[in-house]
C-alpha cells in the first residue's frame, strides 16, 4: 500500500531494494525491451523514407507510396512511445518506493540512536547529509535501471543493425565511444571527490544556518552578531566554491564525451559514400546510408550518456557507503500502550555521573497508583537527575521496581510503556498543536488542552488546534510550550509519570487547577513531581527532600515539623504568594 511502512530484511544490502521491487522491475524490463528494440525502427524508417523520396524524384514511385510508409512510421513510433511512457512511469514508481523504504529504515535507525550519539555526530549535519544521500543514491539506482534499457539494450540493438549493414565500417567508426568511456572512467575519482566535498560543505552550512537561527537572540544580546556573520560568510563562500566545482565536474564534461563519440561520423561520410558509389566494402543504396548514419549518431549520443551514467553510479556509491552504517532495522516496536496500573518500589537507589561524586544515595520509597510524590530541595540538589534515572540513560545502583519488575532489566520498548516523562525542554515537533499532543495516536487533544488550561488560548489562535507551532515551538510562548508538553504527557499516560517542573511558567491559580485535573487524569499512575514550587505540597501524598546527596522521604506536615530548610522555604513562598528558590 502506498505510504505504508514495511520492515525490510537485510536493509544494508542494495540488492534487497531491487529484489523488493521485482514486479515493478519486470514491467520495466518488458516495456524497456519493446521500447528500445523498437527504437531501431526510427533509423530504418528514416532510411526507407529517404529512399522513397529518391524513387519519387526518379519517377519509380508515386506520392501515395510515401504516405502509406509515413503512416506506418507514425503508428510504429506511437507504439514504441507508449512503451517508453510505461517504462518511465514504472521506473519513477520504482524510485519512489525505494526512496520511501530507505528513508524509513534511516529514520527508524536514527530515532533509536541515543541522544548523546546524535549530539556527538552533530545531528543537524548528519540528518541533512543522510537524507540527501538517500536521494542521490536512489537517483543513481533510477538512472542505472533506466539506462540499462535506454542505453544498454538500445545500444546493443543499434550495434547489431550497424554490423548487419557493414561490419568493417562499424568497427572503424566505433573506436571513438570507448575513448569517451575511458576518459569518463579516469575522471570518476575527481567527480566523486568533488561531490563528497560539496555535500560536506552543504552539511556545515546547514548546521551554521540552524545555529544562526536558533541562537540569533543570544548572539545579538551578547554583541556576537558580527563574529557570527563573518563565520557564516566563510561557510557560505566554502559552499559556493565546492558546489560550483562539483557541478562543473558533473555536468561540463558531457559535451566533451559527446564530441569524442561522434568523431566516427567522419569515417561514415567517407567510406559510406564509397559504398553508395559502388567502390566500398559493401553495396549500399541511399536508405542503407541514411539508416547507418542515423543509427551511428544515436549510438554515439547514447554512449556518451553511458559515460555520464558511470558518474552518477559512482556518486550513488559514495552516498550509499555513507548511509550504509545507518541502514539497520531495529527490533520492531511492540505495541505497548500504557502498561496496567502498577506500584513503584525504589530501594537503596544511588546515582553518580561518570567519575563524579554521588548526586544522591540510598533513596528508598514506594507508592501506589494515584499517588503524587513531590520532589524538591535547594538548587541543583539532583531533582532532574532523579527523574532522568527513570529513563535509564545511565546505570544506577540499587533498585527501581515497577509492578515488581526491575527497570534495569526492561527493553527500551517496555520502558517506554512504563514510564512517561516531561523534561525541562518541551521538545515540540514542527507540526500543529493537535499533532504535538496526539503524536500520531487517535484521541481528543482538546480534552488535554482543557486539562492544562490552554483550551481558550488555543481557540483564539489563527487555526485553533491546527495552528502550527513552528520548529521547536518557536511560535508559542515558553509557558504555552510547557503546557502543550504537559498535555502530551497526560495524553500518553504511563504507570509512572515523571514531571520535571511542569508549572514553572504558570501562575499559582492556574497551577492549582491543572493539579486538580492532573489528579483526575493520572489517577492510575504514580506521579513524581519535581519542582521548586511548594504551594501544592500540602496536598501531595509524599514529599522527597533532597539536599547534599541525602534524601528525606516524608510528607509535608512532617517536614514542616522536622526540617527547618523545608519549612523556611515553604513559608517564604507562602508569604510571597509565588515561588522562591532555596
Ligand atoms: N549530564 C551531567 N553530567 C554531570 N553532572 C551533571 C549532569 N547533569 C547534572 N549534573 C550535576 O548533577 C547535579 C544535580 O543536577 P540536577 O540538574 O539534577 O539538579 P536539579 O535539582 O534538577 O537542578 P535545578 O535546581 O536547577 O532544577 C548538579 O551538581 C549538576 O551539576
Q: Give the CATH number for residue 403.
A: 3.40.50.300
359 pocket-lining for ligand 1 (C-beta < 6 Å): yes
Q: Computed over its alpha carbons, how large is the radius of gyration of the chain?
A: 36
| 334 falls within a domain | no
Q: CA 444 to CA 348: how far, in whole Å? A: 40
**223 CB near ligand 1 (under 6 Å):** no
Rounded CA separation 397/406 (Å): 12
Q: Do 455 and 312 have their domain in common?
A: no
Distance 361 CA to ligand 1 centre (A): 15
Spatial distance between the Cα atoms of 432 and 440, rounded to a whole number of angstroms? 12
Inform me whether the pLDDT recorded for 307 exceeds 70: no
Both 218 and 296 in a single domain?
yes
Q: What is the CATH number of the domain that holds 87?
A: 1.20.1560.10
Query: Do 44 and 104 sit in the same domain of this protein?
Result: yes
Note whether 88 and 162 are same-domain residues.
Answer: yes
From atom 25 of ligand 1, which residue's Cα is the shortest distance away?
379
Q: How far is C-alpha 221 from the geometric centre of its chain's CA atoms?
A: 34
Instruction: Give Cα 195 to chain centroid, integer Å.
Output: 20
C-alpha cell at 277: 558509389
Question: What residue's CA is closest to ligand 1, atom 1?
Answer: 353
Question: What is the ipTM for the molecules in this complex?
Answer: 0.96
Tell me what pLDDT residue 370 has. 93
The answer to whether residues 318 and 275 touch, using CB atoms and an 8 Å cutoff, is no
| Nearest residue (CA) to ligand 1, atom 14 | 382
Instruction: Assess whether the C-beta atom of 381 lies below 6 angstroms from ligand 1.
Output: yes
Kindly report the protein residue whose alpha carbon is nearest to atom 3 of ligand 1: 353
Angstrom distances, CA of residue 414 to CA of 346, 445, 497, 527: 18, 25, 14, 18
Q: Which three cell numbers stand for residue 519?
A: 489528579
Give the span between the Cα atoms of 132 and 161, in whole angstroms: 41
Kindly report the backbone phi and psi dihedral angles of residue 286, in degrees, each rounded to the nearest multiple of 5, phi listed first. Answer: -60, -40
What is the domain extent for residue 462?
Answer: 344-576
Determine, yes or no, domain membership for 531. Answer: yes
Output the CA 19–ligand 1 centroid distance in Å: 51
Would you say the CB of residue 379 lies under 6 angstroms from ligand 1?
Answer: yes
Residue 373 contacts residue 537 (beta carbons within 8 Å): no
Look at residues 326, 356, 373 and tell me which one is the last residue of a structural domain: 326
For residue 254, is it within any domain? yes
C-alpha cell at 501: 517542573
| Burial of 458 per CB tally in 10 Å (0-12, 13-18, 19+) | buried
559 C-alpha to center of ligand 1: Å? Answer: 24
For residues 527 and 397, state if they share a domain: yes
Q: Is the CB of 382 under 6 A from ligand 1?
A: yes
Say whether pLDDT at 111 is over 80: no
Measured by CA distance, the residue closest to atom 29 of ligand 1 is 380
550 within some domain: yes
Q: Note whether 423 and 471 are same-domain residues.
A: yes
Work out the average pLDDT over 100-127.
66
Query: Measured from the CB, is residue 531 less than 6 Å from ligand 1?
Result: no
Let me know whether 80 and 161 are in one domain.
Answer: yes
Count of the separate structural domains present in the chain: 2
Ligand 1 mean position to 385 CA, how many Å? 6
* 40 occurs within a structural domain: yes
- Give me the mean pLDDT over the 494-522 stretch: 90
Claim to verify: residue 288 and residue 385 sit in the same structural domain:
no
| Between 391 and 254, residue with greater pLDDT | 391
Phi and psi torsions of 332, nearest 5°:
-60, 140
Cβ–ligand 1 contact at 380 (below 6 Å): yes
* Among 115, 349, 353, residue to substitute to test ligand 1 (most atoms within 8 Å of Cβ): 353
For the chain, the helix, strand and coil percentages under 3-state DSSP, each to the nearest 5: 65, 10, 25
CA distance 451 to 459: 14
Question: Is the C-beta atom of 528 inside 6 A of ligand 1?
Answer: no
What CA–CA distance (Å, rounded) separates 532 from 540?
14
Greatest mean pLDDT among 335-344, 404-413, 545-554 lies in 545-554
168 and 79 in one domain? Answer: yes
CA of 379 to the centre of ligand 1 (A): 9
**Is-contact 555 365, C-beta < 8 A?**
no
Q: Is pLDDT at 352 greater than 80 in this prediction?
A: yes
Query: Do 503 and 565 reside in the same domain of the chain?
Result: yes
Per-residue model confidence (pLDDT) at position 429: 76
Residue 529 lies in a domain: yes
Statement: residue 545 has pLDDT above 90: yes
498 three-state secondary structure: strand
* Residue pLDDT, tens place only, 415-457: 888 999 998 888 887 778 998 898 777 789 999 999 999 999 9
241's grid cell: 566554491
Do 286 and 384 belong to one domain? no
CB of 182 shorter than 6 A to ligand 1:
no
Look at residue 581 and tell me whether its pLDDT is greater than 70.
Answer: no
Give residues with Cβ within 8 angstroms of 257, minimum separation 6. Answer: 180, 183, 184, 304, 307, 308
Residue that is written with C-alpha cell 510524590 in the block = 373
Amino acid 336: pLDDT: 38
CB 468 within 8 A of CB 431: yes
pLDDT band at 562 (very low <50, low <70, confident <90, very high): very high
Q: Report yes or no on 310 lying in a domain.
A: yes
Q: State which ligand 1 atom lies nearest to the alpha carbon of 385.
A: 18
pLDDT value, residue 569 = 93
Beta-carbon contacts of 254 under 8 Å, excluding residues fewer than 6 positions away, are 304, 308
pLDDT at 1: 39
Co-location of 321 and 463 in the same domain: no
Start-to-end CA distance of the chain, whole Å, equals 58
Amino acid at each position: 500500500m502506498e505510504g505504508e511502512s514495511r520492515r525490510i530484511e537485510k536493509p544494508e544490502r542494495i540488492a534487497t531494494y531491487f529484489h523488493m521491487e521485482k514486479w515493478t522491475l519486470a514491467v520495466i524490463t518488458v516495456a524497456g525491451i519493446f521500447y528500445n528494440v523498437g527504437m531501431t525502427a526510427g533509423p530504418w524508417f528514416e532510411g526507407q523514407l529517404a529512399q522513397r523520396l529518391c524513387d519519387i524524384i526518379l519517377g519509380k514511385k508515386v506520392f501515395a507510396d510515401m504516405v502509406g510508409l509515413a503512416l506506418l512510421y507514425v503508428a510504429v513510433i506511437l507504439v514504441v512511445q507508449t512503451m517508453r511512457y510505461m517504462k518511465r512511469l514504472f521506473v519513477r514508481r520504482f524510485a519512489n518506493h525505494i526512496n520511501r523504504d530507505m528513508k524509513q529504515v534511516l529514520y527508524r535507525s536514527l530515532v533509536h540512536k541515543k541522544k548523546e550519539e546524535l549530539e556527538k555526530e552533530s545531528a543537524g549535519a548528519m540528518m541533512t547529509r543522510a537524507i540527501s544521500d538517500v536521494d542521490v543514491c536512489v537517483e543513481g539506482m533510477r538512472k542505472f535501471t533506466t539506462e540499462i534499457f535506454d542505453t544498454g539494450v538500445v545500444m546493443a540493438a543499434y550495434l547489431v543493425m550497424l554490423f548487419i549493414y557493414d561490419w568493417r565500417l562499424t568497427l572503424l567508426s566505433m573506436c571513438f565511444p570507448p575513448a569517451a568511456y575511458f576518459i569518463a572512467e579516469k575522471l570518476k575519482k575527481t567527480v566523486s571527490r568533488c561531490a563528497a566535498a560539496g555535500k560536506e560543505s552543504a552539511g556545515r552550512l546547514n548546521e551554521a544556518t540552524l545555529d544562526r537561527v536558533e541562537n540569533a537572540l543570544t548572539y545579538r544580546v551578547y554583541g556576537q552578531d558580527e563574529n557570527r556573520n563573518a563565520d557564516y560568510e566563510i561557510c557560505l563562500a566554502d559552499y559556493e566554491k565546492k558546489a560550483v566545482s562539483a557541478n562543473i565536474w558533473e555536468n561540463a564534461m558531457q559535451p566533451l564525451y559527446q564530441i569524442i563519440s561522434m568523431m566516427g561520423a567522419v569515417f561514415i561520410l567517407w567510406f559510406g559514400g564509397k559504398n553508395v558509389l559502388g567502390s566500398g566494402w559493401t553495396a549500399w543504396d541511399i536508405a542503407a546510408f541514411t539508416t547507418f548514419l542515423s543509427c551511428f549518431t544515436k549510438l554515439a549520443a547514447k554512449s556518451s550518456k553511458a559515460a555520464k551514467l558511470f558518474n552518477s553510479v559512482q556518486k550513488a556509491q559514495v552516498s550509499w557507503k555513507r548511509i550504509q552504517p545507518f541502514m539497520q532495522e531495529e527490533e520492531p516496536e511492540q505495541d505497548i500502550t500504557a502498561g496496567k496500573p502498577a506500584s513503584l518500589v525504589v530501594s537503596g537507589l544511588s546515582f553518580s555521573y561518570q567519575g563524579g561524586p554521588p548526586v544522591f544515595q540510598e533513596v528508598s520509597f514506594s507508592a501506589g497508583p494515584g499517588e503524587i510524590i513531590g520532589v524538591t530541595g535547594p538548587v541543583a540538589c539532583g531533582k532532574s537527575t532523579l527523574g532522568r534515572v527513570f529513563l535509564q540513560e545511565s546505570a544506577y545502583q540499587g533498585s527501581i521496581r515497577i509492578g515488581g519488575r526491575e527497570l534495569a532489566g526492561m527493553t527500551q520498548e517496555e520502558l517506554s510503556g512504563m514510564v512517561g516523562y516531561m523534561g525541562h525542554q518541551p521538545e515540540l515537533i514542527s507540526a500543529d498543536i493537535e499533532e504535538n499532543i496526539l503524536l500520531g495516536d487517535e484521541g481528543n487533544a482538546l480534552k488535554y488542552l482543557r486539562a492544562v488550561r490552554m483550551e481558550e488560548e488555543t481557540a483564539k489562535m489563527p487555526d485553533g488546534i491546527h495552528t502550527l507551532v513552528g520548529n521547536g515551538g518557536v511560535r508559542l510562548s515558553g509557558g504555552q510550550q510547557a503546557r502543550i508538553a504537559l498535555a502530551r504527557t497526560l495524553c500518553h499516560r504511563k504507570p509512572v509519570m515523571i514531571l520535571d517542573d511542569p508549572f514553572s511558567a504558570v501562575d499559582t491559580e492556574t497551577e492549582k487547577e491543572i493539579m486538580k485535573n492532573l489528579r483526575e487524569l493520572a489517577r492510575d499512575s504514580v506521579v513524581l513531581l519535581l519542582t521548586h514550587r511548594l504551594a501544592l505540597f500540602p496536598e501531595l501524598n509524599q514529599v522527597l527532600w533532597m539536599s547534599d546527596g541525602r534524601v528525606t522521604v516524608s510528607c509535608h506536615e512532617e517536614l514542616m515539623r522536622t526540617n527547618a530548610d523545608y519549612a523556611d522555604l515553604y513559608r517564604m513562598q507562602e508569604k510571597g504568594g509565588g515561588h522562591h528558590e532555596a
